[in-house]
Amino acid sequence: MPYPSSPAPGAPFRVVVTGVGIITSMGIGWRQNADGFREGRQALRPITLFDASSQRVQQAGEVIFDQPLPQTRLGRRQLARLDRASRLLIHAGAEAFTQSGWQATADAGSTIAEDIPIVLGTSAGAMAVGESYYRQKVETPGEAHTLPHKVVLYQPHTQAQFLADALGVQGPVTMISNACASGANAIGHAFRLIKTGRASRAIAGGYDALAQMVFAGFDSLQALSTTSPRPFDAQRDGLALGEGAAVFTLERYEDAVSRGANILAEVTGYGAATDLHHLTQPHPQGDAALISMTRACAEATVEPKQVQYINSHGTGTPLNDVAEGMAIQRWAGPHTPGIMVSSTKGAIGHLLGGAGAVEAAICVIALSEGFVPPNAPVSTPDPVCTFDLVCEPRQAQLDCVLTNSFGFGGANATLVLQHPTSRA
Amino acid sequence: MPPSSGSSATIHLTGWGAVSPAGWSATALADAVLADSPLPHTSERRVPEAPERMFRRVPPMPATPDWMKQPRLRRTTAAARHAVHAAVQALGESHLEAVRSSGRRIGTIFCTMSGCVQFSRRFYAEVLANPLLASPILFPETVYNAPASHVSSLLGSPEMNYTLVGDSAQFLAGLDLAAQWLDDGLVDACLVIAAEELDWISDEALLLFAPQAVSAEGAAAVLLEKGGTSPSTDSAITLRAVTEAFTYGQERDRPQAATAVRRALERHRAPGTVLCDGSNPQALASDGTRTRGDTTEQQLWQDWDAPSYGVRPVLGEGFAITSGWQTVLACELLQRGLASQAFISAVGLTQQAVGAVLQGPAPIPSQP
């Protein structure tokens, strides 16, 4: 957005979600994911993308591409160049765009006249492409064939450009790489652009594809579960990695109403903070998580007693779950026992830069369809679970939910999402 | 604090710093660019069959300051060390303790294109050799936001911290984001930083597009504050404008994006304006033509009739630092009274074109 900008008359604006696209190992699209999360299915499977036989763990939330890419404006050459991460992103982006009804606007002309900002979060981008580049450079140092293509594709903004071209939009691209909070930061940033009047609508989301280097990295930290990921279990032993994407179309409430759009949810608050404790370990008391939750709820003007459900970061690592649980206790105080909490990472794995967006999408689905996605089964809940840990499928009419995302480097982000009728 | 709607109060650049092949200061950078002579570079092949890469390293640090001795910074990557040094320069080294204890909300926006490539390359090599022996020391430092995290830790600031991955124009888009955070009251001050480090993996990638290009490493940082919020804003440099980030794609090509930047900048033209652009006449492709980005930027400003300064011919290709170095150079020119206003033009390598306008402490002469 150019600086300086004139103050927007009418700001602050209410910001609503009119489209959500999602792809995970649970399936492609809203329906498959909604059904899977409602039933509490686990979608982890043996890794086929690279040789994991030498590692301690051989399973992950690998996506099965059992549907062709949706029809978009990408040409044949671009389609041939898409890497795995871009395909994830375009699946999600096309679904959100179609759902939003913005597609009709785009079809009327060659492009959407208005610049639409694209804000995406990713941690690894096209890491698998970078790995391929490295191997070629080492094995055949003098050979340059296909390398320029790989260098361009490795840049995360190339994936955003694919998305823009696929949807026929143009606008500033912002790539946020705040590790595992990236997707939540991206949605939060787009929310602020609209709320303050700097943009009237935006496309936001997050994505990451499985890559050998990242998988080995988490294994090297002994963060991967060698049994089954079960966040908040007293005997939990780590996480599973996953891949996927979620994309949101966000716009002003007034605009959505005036064009008769189907409003799926309202984004009402966003909080971000930085944990200074350690590069990879959270503060034991969850200091930064407490700040991000408090800030998000202050912006949304909601009290802890109004928040019915928290989609927790809940990685299933010993340190994360205790720190997040402590933060929830400190934030909610006496209301803690009444708050439903679950982590969906036991079902699809940890999607890293895509996690925040995908988990926000799961929240929107839960708000829309009236259920709480259950946590993976636990044998004995960790003592920190003084909240209502939901481990079985549960129907619930939700009005106000919160999603937490915490990442390496101390990146903490929280989003507050509300049912469209809850603030009418 | 929830954001308020953009009020666009005056925003100042109250400090800046740089690490570059010219040395560990913004002064060294500006002196080198004003001398207008390419710094010496090194040529090297990692193996006989590999292309010969050319690069300019940051010279060895004169002495390790005490603040670098905290455990968190001991095994950081070169990019992170460059970033924290530039950030501390921008804040003022003597103010570091005061900053840590002041309670001021200082945001951090870190820009990079290649990230921490040294550790990434080393770690992946270990994975290929034997994943069970791949070092857990290396992996956490490979994430794009590791340098930004170290900066926040050094400052003791739990405030907003974004890492933006983008091309050589990203730093200017980072200035714009900082202005938004300040306007919205999310932070009291904001550091915008860019950093990169050399490695054969990125140097050889550059050669695929510009066979004569010289890679460079380092960092740039500026501190932004709202006017009237601290004594240092009284005689500071003003951020007059940042253009939209004109993204490349099917709907807009690079020359169109560049033209849009120039058009936006020209609205602020005034006597005493200098240009800090990103073109590099020395980065010739193998067929003798200039590289794509350089051709565009060269043509964009070919009729510019006032002084212009370029960092690339002297320092080399700094990827995401490039527009940061341009910004630091502009600050130095304005502070030294060599200009009253500076245009910064960044026609990015692969993503976007962005421009910015900085105004010096001295008033701009009125139009004749």
DSSP string covering A340-365, please? EEE-SHHHH-B-GGGHHHHHHHHHHH
User: For residue A84, is it within any domain?
Assistant: yes
Q: What is the pLDDT of residue A1?
A: 76
CB–CB contact B146 A279 (8 Å)? yes
Question: Tell me, what amino acid is at A80?
Answer: A
Give A153-177 pLDDT, tens digit per residue: 999 999 999 999 999 998 999 999 9
pLDDT of A95 over the 70 cut? yes
Of B123, B158, B184, the CB nearest to A288: B158
Mutation for testing the A interface, residue in B143, B155, B204 having most A CBs under 10 Å: B143
Q: Determine the straight-line distance between the first and last CA of chain A, rounded to whole angstroms.
A: 30
Q: Are residues A46 and A139 in the same domain?
A: yes
The rounded distance, in Å, linking the Cα atoms of B58 and B196 is 11
Predicted pLDDT of residue A8: 85
- Min Cα–Cα distance to chain B from A41, Å: 31
Please determine, for residue A211, whether its predicted confidence score (pLDDT) is greater than 70.
Answer: yes
The range of the structural domain enclosing residue A211 comes to 15-258
Dihedrals φ, ψ of A99, to 5°?
-65, -35
> What average pLDDT does range A222-247 have in this prediction?
97
Residues of A in contact with B154 (CB under 8 A): none
Q: Is B1 on the interface with A (CB under 8 A)?
A: yes
Q: Which of A91, A189, A283, A350 is catalytic?
A: A350
Name the residue among A142, A171, A37, A167 with its Cα closest to residue A91: A167
Q: What is the pLDDT of residue B5?
A: 45
Q: Domain for residue A210, yes or no?
A: yes
Q: Which residues of A fall within a CB distance of 8 Å from B145? A: 177-179, 407-409, 411
Q: What stretches of B36-192 show up as alpha helix (H) in DSSP? A: 78-91, 96-102, 117-129, 146-155, 170-183
Among A258, A283, A301, the domain boundary falls at A258
Chain A contact for B72 (CB, 8 A cutoff): yes
Nearest to A205 by CA among A226, A190, A220, A215: A190
* Residue A168 falls inside a structural domain: yes
For residue A105, pLDDT over 70 is answered with: no
Asked which of A258, A284, A313 is the last residue of a domain, the reply is A258
Q: Which of B4, B140, B249 sits opposite A170 (nearest CB)?
A: B249
Residue A400 among the catalytic residues: no
Min distance B46 CA to chain A CA atoms (Å): 9
Is position A391 annotated as part of the catalytic site? no
Question: Which of A54, A133, A157 is the best mutation test for B, with the most CBs of B within 10 A?
Answer: A157
Residue-wise pLDDT for A113-134, tens only, equals 468 999 999 999 899 999 999 9
Angle at B241 between CA B237 and CA B243, to 5 degrees: 145
ipTM (interface pTM): 0.96
Sorted by where each begins, the domain ranges of chain B are 11-233, 237-359
Whether residues A284 and A203 fall in one domain: no
In a shared domain, residues A158 and A216: yes
A180 is catalytic: yes
Instruction: Note the pLDDT of residue B365.
Output: 58
pLDDT of residue B349: 87
The verdict on a CB contact (< 8 Å) between B140 and A407 is no
Which has the minimum average pLDDT: A4-8, A40-44, B9-13? A4-8
- Name chain A contacts of B2, Cβ cutoff 8 Å: 269, 295, 298-299
A205 and A147 in a single domain? The answer is yes
- A137 assigned to some structural domain: yes
Q: At A362, which CATH number?
A: 3.40.47.10
Whether residue A263 lies inside any domain: the answer is no
End residue of a domain, out of A258, A292, A307: A258
**Separation CA A70–CA A287 (nearest Å):** 43
Q: What angle do CA B299, B304, B306 make, to 5 degrees?
A: 150
Nearest-by-CA chain A residue for B357: A3
Helices B322-335, B170-183: axis angle to 10 degrees equals 70
Query: Could you tell me if A287 and A367 lie in one domain?
Result: yes
Count A/B contacts: CB-CB distance under 8 Å: 245
A19-30 tens-digit pLDDT:
999 999 999 999
User: Would you call A73 helix, strand, or coil by DSSP?
Assistant: coil
Question: Same structural domain for residues A28 and A111?
Answer: yes
B130/A217 Cβ within 8 A: no
Q: Which residues of chain B have pLDDT under 70?
A: 1-8, 231, 233-235, 281-294, 362-368
The predicted structure's pLDDT at residue B204: 97
Q: Give me the residue from A54, A140, A175 closest to B131, CB to CB.
A: A54
CA distance B49 to chain A (A): 5
Contact between chains at B351 and A134 (C-beta distance less than 8 A):
no
Task: Compute the distance between CA of residue A117 and CA of residue B58 in angstroms, rounded to an integer.
Answer: 36
Give the residue among A412, A348, A401 at the shortest CA–CA distance from A371.
A401
Q: Find chain A residues with C-beta within 8 A of B143's C-beta.
A: 123, 177, 179, 408-409
* Separation between Cα atoms, residue B6 and residue A320, nearest integer Å: 36
Topology of domain B237-359, per CATH?
Peroxisomal Thiolase; Chain A, domain 1 (3.40.47)
Q: Which chain A residues are closer than 8 Å to B260 by Cβ?
A: none
Contacts of B158 in chain A (CB under 8 A): 273-276, 287-288, 291
Residue in A303, A305, A304, A294 with CA at minimum distance from that of residue A271: A294
> What Cα–Cα distance (Å) separates residue A406 from each residue in A293, A351, A409, A415, B113?
11, 12, 9, 12, 23
User: Does residue A346 lie within any of the structural domains?
Assistant: yes
In terms of domains, do A248 and A378 share one?
A: no
Instruction: Report, as an integer, the average pLDDT of A334-363.
Output: 98
> Which of B68, B51, B42, B301 lies closest to A142 in space, CA to CA?
B51
Query: How many separate domains does chain A show?
Result: 2
Going along A6-156, which residue ranges are E strands? 15-24, 27-28, 45-46, 59-60, 118-121
Same domain, A29 and A113: yes
Is there a single domain that holds both residue A223 and residue A282?
A: no
In CATH, the number for domain B11-233 is 3.40.47.10
Report yes or no: B258 and B347 within 8 Å, Cβ to Cβ.
Answer: yes
8 Å CB contact of B127 and A12: no
